[in-house]
Amino acid sequence: MSASALPDLGTLPLPAATAVAPIARALEGLDPASLWWLSGYAAGLARAGHAVPAVAPQAGATALPRLTVLYGSQTGNAKRAAEGLVGAAEAAGFAVRLVRADAYPTRELKDERLLWVVISTQGEGEPPEDSLGLFEFLLGRRAPTLPELKYAVLGLGDSSYPKFCETGRQIDARLAELGAQRLQPLGEADVDIDAVATPWRARAVESLKALAAELAPTAPAAHSAAVIPLRPAIAAALHSREQPFAAELIEQVRLTGRGSQRDVRHLEFSLAGSGLHYAPGDALGVWAPNPAALVEAVLELTRLDGDAPLTLDGIERPLRVWLTEHRELTRLAKPLLVALGAVSKHRELHSLLDPAEAASLSALLSSHQLIDVLREWAGEWNAETFVRALRPMAPRLYSIASSPLAYADEVHLTVDVVGAEDEDPLRLGLASHHLAQLEPGARARVFIEENPRFRLPADNSRDLILLGAGTGVAPYRAFVQQRVAEGARGRHWLLFGARSLRDDFLYQTEWQEHLRRGALQHIDLAFSRDAKPRIYVQQRLREQAARLFEWLDGGAHFYVCGSLALGRDVHQTLLELFTQRLGSAEAANEALQQLQQSGRYARDVY
Ligand SMILES: Cc1cc2nc3c(=O)[nH]c(=O)nc-3n(C[C@H](O)[C@H](O)[C@H](O)COP(=O)(O)OP(=O)(O)OC[C@H]3O[C@@H](n4cnc5c(N)ncnc54)[C@H](O)[C@@H]3O)c2cc1C
Ligand SMILES: Cc1cc2nc3c(=O)[nH]c(=O)nc-3n(C[C@H](O)[C@H](O)[C@H](O)COP(=O)(O)O)c2cc1C
């Protein structure tokens, strides 16, 4: 056969089964684009008339089974930590797949041989939304025994909460109970995630290498393990969490009336020239610096010199810069109190740190800011101890309230401003206040945080039930705008709750306009302070149970957005309604889980 002629495929002998198996393994998990590319690559080699060139195995490449890295994450920290783990394992030559917990087919668990789990804890010691199904499965009766599994768990949490890293702890313990072998102790990352995650990652890779050496002490890996890079390179986005875009504020208006106890703003930013794209349901991440007045007050209370350089982990900056850009001054966490305990003699503080006082400690952490604590308890600080005890600065997320189809190159937000300047100018919410004081033309550092679990259905003939309270209505503004722009056939039903009709009905005129034009079929409102006794939005759901089931039976998607308490209360209401319908709490629970797992019941609560 000439090298360039295309052979008649029907006349070629089939490859031996032993040759097919490693190919199938190597192709596992590839997307169609990569498979097409690969088929072209193979055809090119065949056309040139030679066999696949031997590729030198990467350092560490072994006959180890593929590693699965599973993550469960609410606001992206565990996802980023998991991606870091994948990068490190791949760099060491191991085959890895990364899977979000709700995309993981639990039936595959019994066949896993190597598993790393990275998972945060939410609520009051609960798993993140994307992990509810996996968690239920793993801790439930259907979980298989796993005698052949080797695993390690990295938990993310915040030691200010009474149930620190609870989900990571439960999963770690349960895998051991199912017979799996723990490769290294559970990692418990507190608010300074990297301080724990980085050494944990290094140890995890070392343990893989040790395992590989055990399994194949002499022979290098078969060539099939050292596959040519397969995934088409995706150009890195110009702007990201680490490299935010300086977005210009176009406009900001106050949405709540003068009589409201809340100051909720509508903000419009330009994304022109950023290359940033988003889908309705995504959030905008915002980085904000600590205000100068707060930084100076903290320096004064700690009696530290803001101009003095401080080197931490090889990076030198003046202390003032550390405090302005790199550490949280408005969010208090336990490590700061522990450090303060070491540099001050206050008896009250020491008794709070007693494990028996966990409840009082968490009450203090949720009601106090750093400035309150420093005002209350003086300590003999040195700059390094102080900065190390503070949380690293983190961006805040805001649900995007606009559709890119309706407002190309813009992003709109609905921001509840935390704290009032006239009460205490040093006790404000960092990012909400930063945004609220921006004038048109000023810029904020932003990025897109994808939220793949809170998206519109691909099929736009599906009906949508949109339940939200307060700023929880923000993503629904984006949803309805997008569906109107697409000419979607599905119906929309909004259930909205706030305090008062007169002052807190966010985007009232827009919803009325949608109703008038037939883009919104139903709106049910609950204004808690206008009624006696107070009424909340879940009560409207109860009243409309017949419509709820009619819509759900027709394939509707149900969304909940707003506070954690709202998420909990609505879930409870749904359980009640499903129990009445199906006759048992167990059946209700199962039905809700199915809805959740199929993506038809999605929550974005914060
Ligand atoms: C996925 C996601 C989407 C979100 N979407 C929105 C949104 O659309 N609109 C919106 O306004 N927020 C939204 N948030 C909340 C937002 O990210 C911030 O947490 C919020 O704006 C407070 O941040 P801050 O920097 O102003 O206050 P911080 O500096 O974080 O907090 C300062 C102090 O105020 C306390 N505090 C924080 N929030 C409140 C509060 N609500 N009431 C009373 N005390 C508080 C803190 O405990 C702290 O002591 C969302 C959060 C997530 C995770
Ligand atoms: C509303 C809320 C509740 C939380 N509850 C807990 C908790 O009970 N225990 C804990 O250890 N951490 C708790 N955390 C802290 C998170 O686990 C921590 O911020 C983690 O880094 C988040 O990771 P993720 O972005 O991957 O979800 C909570 C955080 C939030 C915002």
Per-residue pLDDT tens for 382-412?
A: 999 999 999 999 999 999 999 999 999 999 9
Ligand 2 mean position, distance from CA 158 (Å): 6
Query: Which atom of ligand 1 lies nearest, measured to the CA of 416?
Result: 11
Ligand 1 mean position, distance from CA 468 (Å): 16
What letter would DSSP give residue 126? B
Average pLDDT over residues 121-139: 93
Which residues sit with their C-beta closer than 6 Å to ligand 2?
73-78, 120-125, 128, 156-158, 161, 163-166, 193, 564
Pairing of strands 150-156, 187-189: parallel
Give residue 547's pLDDT band: very low, low, confident or very high (50, 70, 90): very high
Ligand nearest to the CA of 120: 2
Q: Whose CA is nearest to atom 45 of ligand 1?
A: 418
Ligand 2 mean position, distance from CA 533 (Å): 33
Ligand 1 binding pocket includes 67 (Cβ within 6 Å) = no
Q: Which two tokens stand for residue 414?
A: 């609905």
CA 527 to chain centre: 30
Helices then strands, each counted (H, E), the chain: 21, 19
3-state secondary structure of 228: coil
Give residue 273's pLDDT band: very low, low, confident or very high (50, 70, 90): very high
Ligand 1 mean position, distance from CA 177 (Å): 38
Report the residue among 158, 418, 566 best suited for mutation to probe ligand 1: largest number of ligand atoms under 8 A from its CB: 418
Give residue 35's pLDDT band: very low, low, confident or very high (50, 70, 90): low
46 vs 11, 39, 42, 50, CA distance in Å?
15, 10, 6, 6
Residue 60: predicted pLDDT = 46
Ligand 1 binding pocket includes 379 (Cβ within 6 Å) = no
Residue 4: predicted pLDDT = 41
Q: Whose CA is nearest to atom 38 of ligand 1?
A: 418
Q: 557 - beta bridge partners?
A: 464
CB 272 within 8 A of CB 420: no
Q: Whose CA is nearest to atom 19 of ligand 2?
A: 157
Task: Answer with the residue of higher pLDDT: 595 or 9.
Answer: 595
- pLDDT tens sequence across 503-537: 999 999 999 999 999 999 999 999 999 999 999 99
Task: Name, of 27-41, 54-68, 203-217, 416-430, the range with top average pLDDT.
Answer: 416-430
Q: What distance in Å separates the CA atoms of residue 445 and residue 289, rounded to the nearest whole number?
A: 10
Residue 43: predicted pLDDT = 54
- pLDDT tens sequence across 158-170: 998 989 999 999 9
Q: What distance in Å separates the CA atoms of residue 227 and residue 221, rounded to the nearest whole number?
A: 11
Ligand 1 binding pocket includes 397 (Cβ within 6 Å) = yes
Nearest to 151 by CA among 119, 175, 187, 135: 175
Nearest to 463 by CA among 346, 549, 349: 549
Residue 216: predicted pLDDT = 63
Q: Whose CA is nearest to atom 9 of ligand 2?
A: 164
Mean pLDDT of the chain: 89
Average pLDDT over residues 274-285: 97
- For 202, list phi and psi in degrees, rounded to 5: -60, -45
**pLDDT > 70: percent of the chain:** 86
Alpha-helix residue ranges (DSSP H) falling in 239-382:
292-302, 319-321, 334-343, 347-352, 358-367, 370-376
Q: Is the pLDDT of residue 154 over 90?
A: yes
Q: Is the pLDDT of residue 2 over 50?
A: no
Query: Which atom of ligand 1 lies nearest, measured to the CA of 401?
Result: 8
Ligand 1 binding pocket includes 331 (Cβ within 6 Å) = yes
426-453 core/surface letters (b: 16 or more CB in 10 A; e: else): bbbbbbbbbbbebeeeeebbbbbbebeb
Give residue 53's pLDDT band: very low, low, confident or very high (50, 70, 90): very low
**pLDDT > 90: percent of the chain:** 79
CB 548 within 8 A of CB 581: no
Query: Which atom of ligand 2 lies nearest, measured to the CA of 80?
Result: 26
Ligand 1 mean position, distance from CA 418 (Å): 7
Radius of gyration of the chain from Cα atoms?
27
Average pLDDT over residues 271-284: 96
Residue 52: predicted pLDDT = 46
Residue 221: predicted pLDDT = 40
Q: What distance in Å separates the CA atoms of residue 29 and residue 180, rounded to the nearest whole number?
A: 24
Q: What distance in Å separates the CA atoms of residue 334 and residue 353, rounded to the nearest whole number?
A: 9
Q: Is the pLDDT of residue 70 over 80?
A: yes
Ligand 1 mean position, distance from CA 125 (Å): 19
Which of 358-372, 517-531, 564-578 has the least mean pLDDT?
358-372
Residue 422: predicted pLDDT = 85
Query: Which atom of ligand 1 lies nearest, measured to the CA of 288?
Result: 25
Report the residue among 130, 158, 329, 397 best suited for mutation to probe ligand 1: largest number of ligand atoms under 8 A from its CB: 397
- Phi-psi domain of 589 (left: phi exceeds 0; alpha: psi -120 through 50; beta: other): alpha
Q: What distance in Å separates the CA atoms of residue 366 and residue 361, rounded to the nearest whole number?
A: 9
Q: Is the pLDDT of residue 219 over 60?
A: no
SS3 content of the chain, % helix, strand, coil (to 5): 40, 20, 40
Question: What are the CB-based long-range contacts (under 8 Å, 24+) for 371-377?
Answer: 371/294, 371/297, 371/298, 371/301, 371/329, 371/426, 371/427, 372/427, 373/332, 373/336, 373/337, 373/340, 374/298, 374/301, 374/302, 375/301, 377/340, 377/344, 377/346, 377/348, 377/349
Average pLDDT over residues 475-491: 98
Q: Whose CA is nearest to atom 28 of ligand 1?
A: 429
- pLDDT tens sequence across 429-457: 999 999 999 999 999 999 999 999 999 99
Residue 214: predicted pLDDT = 83
Residue 345: predicted pLDDT = 87
Q: Whose CA is nearest to atom 27 of ligand 2?
A: 74
Average pLDDT over residues 535-555: 98
Residue 215: predicted pLDDT = 75
Query: Which atom of ligand 1 lies nearest, measured to the CA of 563?
Result: 41
277-314 core/surface letters (b: 16 or more CB in 10 A; e: else): ebbbbbbbbbbbbbbeebbebbbebbebebeeebeeee
Report the residue among 102, 124, 129, 158 best suited for mutation to probe ligand 2: largest number of ligand atoms under 8 A from its CB: 158
Report the residue among 71, 117, 118, 122 best suited for mutation to probe ligand 2: largest number of ligand atoms under 8 A from its CB: 122
CA 230 to chain centre: 28
Q: Whose CA is nearest to atom 20 of ligand 1?
A: 432
| DSSP of 533-558 | S---HHHHHHHTHHHHHHHHHTT-EE
Q: In residues, how long is the chain?
A: 606
Residue 64: predicted pLDDT = 85
CA terminus-to-terminus distance, the chain: 66
Residue 28: predicted pLDDT = 56
Ligand 2 mean position, distance from CA 286 (Å): 19
Ligand nearest to the CA of 567: 2
